[in-house]
Amino acid sequence: MKILELRGVKKRYHANSALNGIDLSIEKGNSLTVLGPNGSGKTTLLKILSGIMSPTEGKVIYKNNQASENDRKKEIFFLGHKNSLYNSLTVLENVNFVCRLFSRNNGDASVENILREYGLWERRNDPVGELSQGMKRRLAIAKGFLIDPDVFIMDEPFSGLDIRWRSSTLSKIKDFKRQKKSLILSTHLVVEGYELADYIAFLHRGKFLFIKKKEEVDIEEINGLFDSPEETLK
């Protein structure tokens, strides 16, 4: 079953084009890693897939249009560059808020477990504004796993994490994949992105250079694209 599709999607910001006619189909339970240089349109693409941004042209289809817009908002979780936290609220209040937003009735044990897993349980009653940037990033990631969405869209999920928490998050994403849920992510960490993918897409100037099964492309080829002169990427 196709869970998400884009058909002829374009996005313009005033005179600038961020996406130039994107077609994409993602099957339920598959994972897609989107790679590409800065400014290629990755963040715009993920925001449109998640429903927090509308395309200028084209269609976004979720579950063959069988799901309502309200269902889509409750079934897709977007982790962006910004952590989307409320600094004046405590760690626990932030978590409880997102659970209500996604209509999740998580028990106290689930909340405690995820906060302990991300080293935040002892800070649960502290305002988020008092946390370090690394802790804020961990809280943002923990929220997504607590929600346990049908589709998890991650934009640079490892950004701001040290080696320990990067490894922990990588393991957690693998656990999510094993549940046969859908994962879409962008990252500058080619090795991690490759490891998590069923499919690899390379975006350049708002267009896909390719979308391939992981087995059809190797890391050396991907690194070669990043190292290639601009004029050779077509």
Q: What is the pLDDT of residues 131-150, one digit of tens each?
A: 999 999 999 999 999 999 99
Alpha-helical runs (H) found in the chain: 42-50, 69-75, 91-101, 108-117, 133-147, 163-178, 190-196, 219-227
Q: How far is CA 190 from CA 51, 160, 202, 225, in A?
A: 26, 16, 11, 12
pLDDT on residue 104: 84
Q: With a cut of 80, say whether residue 229 has pLDDT above it.
A: no
Instruction: Count the helix, strand and coil residues of the chain and give each as a percent rounded to the nearest 5.
Output: 40, 25, 30
CATH, range 2-233 = 3.40.50.300
Query: Is 182's pLDDT higher than 80?
Result: yes
The pLDDT confidence band at residue 232, using thresholds 50, 70 and 90, is low
pLDDT at 47: 95
